[in-house]
Amino acid sequence: MRKANDPVRVRAGELQDFIGSIFGAVGMSPDDATMAADALVRTEMRGIVTHGVRHVPRYVRSILDGGIDPRAEFQVVRETASTATVEAHAGLGHVVATKAVRLAMSKAADHGVATVLARNSSHLGAPGHYALLAAEADMIAIVFSTTPRVMKAPGSRTAVVGSSPVAYAVPSRGAPFVLDASMSVVAGNRINIARERGEPVPEGWIVDSDGVPSTNPDDYRLGGALVPIGGHKGFGIAVFTELLAGALSGLDWDHQAESKTRQPGSAYFADLTSSDQWNSGHAFVVLDVKAFLDPAEMRDRADRLRSVIKSAEPEPGSEGVRLPGERASASEAEARREGVQVSAGTWSSLQRVATELGLAVSATADS
């Protein structure tokens, strides 16, 4: 018998329709609501729960309070045959990013390589989702995004840059290679989840407001900061992400710098209130494989590399090498067979927001 705190399983299609109906109820067009739901549910299916459907209530609150515009125009403000700059007008990042990567893919199909930048967007979730869309169309993609300033630099006491998530995806005969990683040791949502569970975090993940390593997740919310992966290396990549996805896109830099610099007492995602805009920048670089090589040959080459790496003898106590995207692909396959696993707390929050919006709970949770 299922216990109250046990996760539930929800059929993927039902969960997508349910999330889509929630976004539709707060003003999104049917197409935009579907894009947002697809991005969030597939991210959940791939086991990236830190960036999945748990955020729907927060996005809804931001829409209702004016921080996200559910009907925002996707406005191309500067364009060449192979590039574009988009003004997102505070649209939901999942919709902005889906439209932007599709635009980049269309341009790359015509010209081999394309870059699309988007500015003044909200949170896009997991950037790997958008890179994967390109890889599944025989394209290679690199995605960058800015975030609130939540990560320290080597030598700084407090946060000075965003965690700068970056994603890469390359097609293969099997599941595409997909790397999705922030430049902090862990994503900030891992700290928030630990706090919700009343659990400490490992040393090396965060520092407190004095720059001292801490295992107390509350310290992150009280002026602390994430730690960059690889020290100066992660920090350096984050700086260039800020320059590419932020400065080059024409992001509302002054507002971002003023609003998103963490202060003692502020919280991650609460550096901006639900009525404020994130003003995030995104970059999508897409290469059409056929401009460089026959796609079938590229897939074969990728699989040969996979075989070489997977043939490595496992180290003691290890099950062997796991390639980027391999675990997520297996998680997605399981979710499609058995339903999407959603935590009890997240499922309750989704039911609650649906009820508040006057919606019936249109998805069925299985124990």
- Reported as a pLDDT band with limits 50, 70 and 90, residue 180 is very high
Does position 74 have pLDDT exceeding 60, yes or no? yes
Q: Which domain range does residue 279 map to?
A: 72-294
Q: How far apart are CA 174 and CA 123, in angstroms?
A: 30
User: 166 and 239 in contact (C-beta within 8 Å)?
Assistant: no
Residue 34 lies in a domain: no
CA 168 to CA 172: how far, in whole Å? 13
Mean pLDDT of 204-220: 94
Answer for the pair 26, 70: CB distance below 8 angstroms, yes or no. Answer: yes
Nearest CA among 362, 2, 49 for reference residue 196: 49
Angle between helices 56-65 and 12-25 (to 10 degrees): 10
Q: Is residue 324 assigned to a domain?
A: no
Q: Examine the pLDDT at 3 and tell me if it is beyond 80.
A: no
pLDDT tens digits for range 110-150:
999 999 999 999 999 999 999 999 999 999 999 999 998 89
Residue 342 domain flag? no
Is residue 14 one of the residues assigned to a domain?
A: no
State the CB neighbour count (10 A cutoff) for residue 297.
10
Element (H, E) at 10: strand 8-10
Q: What angle (nearest 5°) sits at the alpha carbon of residue 6, between those of residues 196 and 323?
A: 75
In a domain, 338, yes or no: no
Q: In the numeric block, which tokens belong to residue 132?
A: 């994967």
Q: Structurally, how many domains does the chain consist of?
A: 1
Does 60 fall in a domain?
no
pLDDT tens across 29-60, in order?
999 999 999 999 999 999 999 999 999 999 99
299-352 tens-digit pLDDT: 999 999 999 999 999 999 999 999 999 999 999 999 999 999 999 999 999 999
The CATH number that applies at residue 184 is 3.30.1370.60
Percent of the chain with pLDDT over 90: 82
Among 97-106, 148-157, 259-268, whose mean pLDDT is lowest?
259-268
Return the structure tokens found at 363: 């998805």
Q: Is the pLDDT of residue 297 over 80?
A: yes
Domain contains 65: no
The pLDDT value given to residue 364: 75
In a domain? residue 29: no
Residue type, 70: P
Is the pLDDT at 270 greater than 50? The verdict is no
- For the sheet with 159-161, list strands across it: 159-161, 151-152, 225-226, 206-207, 213-214
Q: Which of 213, 219, 93, 76 is nearest to 148 (CA)?
A: 93
- 4-30 per-position pLDDT tens digit: 678 899 999 999 999 999 999 999 999
Q: Which of 122, 16, 18 is nearest to 65 (CA)?
A: 122
The secondary structure of 141-173, three-state, reads: EEEEECCCECEECCCCCCEEECCCCEEEEECCC
CA distances to 118, 130, 143, 191, 199 from 108, in Å: 17, 15, 15, 38, 46
